[in-house]
Structure 1
Amino acid sequence: MRTSFSQYIRFQKRLLILYAAIMVFISIMLYVEPTMSIHFSNLLYIHAVALIFLMAYLTIDYYTIAKHHKELSSRWSNGMFIQDGIGAAKTYEQQLYLEMLQSVNDAHQQQLTSILQDKKESMEFMTTWFHDIKTPIAISRLILEQAKENPDNESILEEISRIERSVNQALYFTRTDHFARDYFISRTELDTIVKSVVKQFAKEFIRRKIKVDLHIQPVVVETDSKWIVYSLSEFVSNALKYSNDGGTITFISEEDSGEVRLSIKDEGIGIPQQDIRRVFQLGFTGTNGRVNRKSTGMGLYIAKKILDKVGHRVTISSKEKLYTIVTVHFRKGDDYYSIVK
């Protein structure tokens, strides 16, 4: 924001009032003093010269301040401001403000450093905990699978699978802020990715008699196989959550000159139109989540966040009581080093 000359003049009201008072006093003294016979025209000349000097001072001071302000604005827009210094103060008032800003900035930097350190420690603890908790889950699964004579084991295994998915969901959520440390973009068969996702839910598909219909073309996409499998798993988990037993979940791939599209379609309860635009928002459970109490509002948010980071767009369409289609768009020709955001 640039300060205009008229604004500058308004800030100099005290100086102008002082100047006017001094000139009036001098004029009265010169005009009424009997020993000094001064003509009125000479008095006007003195006023004119004094006014010229005043305007010269104000003009020079204005351009000095404007230059300093422009420098500060440039530093601010480039993110340098106080961190790299804002130059020497031109007036005592500027010096006071500079010291105050520096004090506030130092306090802010200390608080920010403390917050970042606390967050780092919390993230390290949570990541370690997630990895540690997966070990007893895996052991519990192994024990139950070996003890098949208990008819309740299948139900317990399903609950363990849900716990495992929840732990993975939290683990992936903590990793998204440091995504660049753990990704590898490669050319991968789309069919391989889809089959890996379907395999994770094989038991639930069988138990609920839900048919898996695959229409996948032999096509290769550029992506990170681990992150894309997790994101697609969230979409399939959501499809299963709101599908009726005996239904069908369909995987369809399409390709054109610009992209490859993978669509996951379920025949579930669908999504109300007023909720469509908000399903990827953090914590949004929507009408279905409130009715069925099965949603946390985290899964789709994390999946969308991951897909954004690997450069894949995701769209969703739905019609209540009929279907929901989630489509992931794999762009062609993405540069390996620029695909990750």
Structure 2
Amino acid sequence: MCYADMILRTLKKEKAAIILFVCGSILMNIYYTILSNVGFKLYPLIINMFFLILYLFYKFFAYRKLYKCLEEGVTSPQYNGGKNSLFEDVIEKEKEIHKKYLSEISKLNDSIKERDLMLIEWIHNMKTSVSVISLATESMKSKEGSDIRYENELLKKNLENVLNVFRMDEFSSDYVPESINLNSIVKEVVNSEKSSFIYGKVYPKNRVNSSLNIYSDKKWLKFVIKQLIINAVKYSEANSSIMIFGEESDSNITLHIKDKGIGIKKSEIHRIFEPFFTGTNGRSSDKSSGMGLYMVKKICDKLHISVDVSSESGKGSDFSLTFRRSENC
């Protein structure tokens, strides 16, 4: 490598040091001028430049030695591309390490899959037990029986939520888009959550126009709407109502789920879709796992639905789902 190239490389690599030296020299001269009440003096700058040049000379020869060693290694007779080459040994070692790394990753993935299968099997067994409890308490007309059925239903929903977390990994194979009437799907969800409304003493008001149709996956959309309604009931005051209504424009249809509950703090709104974030309300009432809204956001992203929220602490929240109009509806 020629000296000119080597000098340019050195200056480029030591650019930060050069800037630091120059700035230091200027500051030192300013300080010296103020302190001694005399004009600008050249010799402090010359001294600094002298040390800078010494430093650059040192780095120049250090870099030159390094590049020279590298060039000699490549042009050495020992570097013939054969099996005894140092470079070939290094490459072979890297390949060996990479192979072990891939093997460990494969083992880890297999272990995770095995654990997931065991957990899914356990959840299905738990759902069987939940169904048995549900049948056994059907004839119980007392308040205790109602409480057991309500808690059993919550357990069933939580188990289903865990299963949906696993299903998210195979979302594309479980995605079936179709034309959906918004009013009908809201009615289905509201009817499935009757016990939640009764226990929470909250009243749903479905004001969705029956002419509004969207194109999406019905199963996943029901899950999203159900989660938003459950949240609205959970944080609503007794004897209040939840308003569910739709809006439409030329390009979009928006579904609103609006409650008159305790609302969300302004400082926490930007975090409500994060996993395991429960917020002040969730921590104070011990009602939240921090996964419901996270799942809502993940599913909406996959369904290309925009989910937004406006809320005021103490006055309630308005969650909205915005769908693009489709010719398939």
Relative to the length of structure 1, the TM-score reads: 0.71
Q: Is the 8 A contact 2:263 2:314 kept in 1?
A: yes
> Partners of 1:228 and 1:259 in 2: how far apart?
16
String of CA shifts for 1:74-94, please: whole Å, max 9, x gaps: xxxxxxxxxxxxxx89x9454
Aligned residue pairs total 267
Residues 103, 270 of structure 1: CA spacing in aligned structure 2 closer, same or farther, 3 A cutoff? same
- Give 1:123 shift: 1.8
SS in 2 for 1:229: helix
CA offsets, 1:269-294, max 9 Å, x none?
Answer: 00000110000000111111121121
**Which has the higher mean CA deviation after the structures are superposed, 269-278 or 194-203?**
194-203
CA deviations on 1:249-270 (whole Å, 9 max, x unpaired) are: 1111111122111110111000
SS of match in other structure, 1:214: strand
1:184 aligns with: 176
Match of 1:225 among 214, 218, 227: 218
Partners of 2:66 and 2:272 lie apart in 1 by 61
Decide which of 299, 303, 318 is 1:310's aligned counterpart. Answer: 303
Tell me if the contact between 2:246 and 2:253 (Cα under 8 Å) persists in the aligned partners.
yes
1:142 aligned partner:
135
Could you say which residue in structure 2 is the equivalent of 1:333? Answer: 326
The residue number in structure 2 matching 1:116 is: 109
Q: Is the 2:277–2:290 contact (alpha carbons within 8 Å) kept by the matching residues of 1?
A: yes
Query: Counterparts of 1:11 and 1:170 in 2: how far apart (Å)?
Result: 60
Indicate if the aligned counterparts of 2:134 and 2:149 stay in contact, CA closer than 8 A.
Answer: yes
| Residues 299-323 of structure 1: CA deviation (Å, up to 9, x unaligned) | 1111111111111111111001101
Q: 2:267 is paired with a residue of what secondary structure?
A: helix
The separation in 1 between residues aligned to 2:250 and 2:106, in whole angstroms, is 48
Find the aligned partners of 1:213 and 1:290 in 2 and give their Cα distance: 29
1:314 is paired with a residue of what secondary structure? strand
| CA gap 1:15/1:262 in 2 versus in 1, 3 angstroms | closer
Q: Give the whole-Å Cα distance in 2 for the aligned partners of 1:16 and 1:283.
A: 53
2:275 to 277, 282, 286: 282
Deviations 1:162-197 (A, max 9, x none): 111111111111111221121211111111211111
Q: Distance in 2 between matches of 1:264 and 1:126?
A: 33
Alignment partner of 1:146: what SS? coil
Alpha-carbon distance in structure 2 between the residues aligned to 1:15 and 1:152: 82
Residue identity in the other structure for 1:13: R
Looking at structure 2, the residues matched to 182 and 125 of structure 1 have their Cα atoms a distance apart, in angstroms, of: 21
Give the equivalent residue in structure 2 for 1:195.
187
Say which SS state the counterpart of residue 178 (structure 1) adopts: helix
Instruction: Give 1:207 deviation, angstroms.
Output: 3.9
Are residues 158 and 95 of structure 1, via their aligned partners in 2, closer, same or farther at CA, if it must alter by over 3 Å? same
What secondary structure sits across from 2:214 in the alignment?
Answer: strand
TM-score (ref. length: structure 2):
0.73
1:265 aligned to which of 258, 261, 264: 258
Q: 1:14 aligned to 46, 65, 71, which one?
A: 65
- In the TM superposition, 1:159-170 aligns within 5 A as 159-170=151-162
Provide the C-alpha distance between the structure 2 equivalents of 1:184 and 1:216, rounded to a whole number of angstroms.
Answer: 23
In structure 2, do the counterparts of structure 1 residues 107 and 221 end up closer, same or farther at CA, with 3 Å as the change threshold? Answer: same
- C-alpha displacement at 1:16, in angstroms? 7.7
Q: CA RMSD in A?
A: 3.0
| Cα distance in structure 2, aligned partners of 1:238 and 1:93 | 64
Instruction: Tell me how far 1:335 sits from its aligned partner.
Output: 9.1
The amino acid of 1:251's aligned partner reads: I
Unaligned runs of 5+ residues in structure 2 are 11-59, 76-80
Partner letter of residue 248 of structure 1? S
Contact 2:214 2:326 survives alignment (8 Å) = no
Q: 1:137 to 1:92 in 2, by over 3 A?
A: same
Alignment partner of 2:311: what SS?
A: strand
Q: Cα gap change, 1:16/1:253 in structure 2, threshold over 3 Å: closer, same or farther?
A: closer
Judge conservation of contact 2:200–2:233 (CA < 8 Å) in 1: no
Partner of 2:243: 250
1:124-168 CA-to-partner distances (Å, cap 9, x unmatched) read 2222222221122112112211232x3311111111111111111
Question: Counterpart of 1:103?
Answer: 96
- Which of 139, 142, 148 matches 1:156? 148
Alignment correspondent of 2:196: 204
Residue 219 of structure 2 corresponds to residue 213 of structure 1: no
Whole-angstrom CA distance in 2 between matches of 1:13 and 1:305: 54
With over 3 angstroms needed to count, the CA separation of the structure-2 counterparts of 1:327 and 1:16, relative to structure 1, is closer
Partner of 1:71: none
1:11 to partner: Cα distance? 8.6
Tell me how far apart the structure 2 counterparts of residues 334 and 317 of structure 1 sit (CA, whole Å): 30
* C-alpha distance in structure 2 between counterparts of 1:334 and 1:92, whole Å: 66
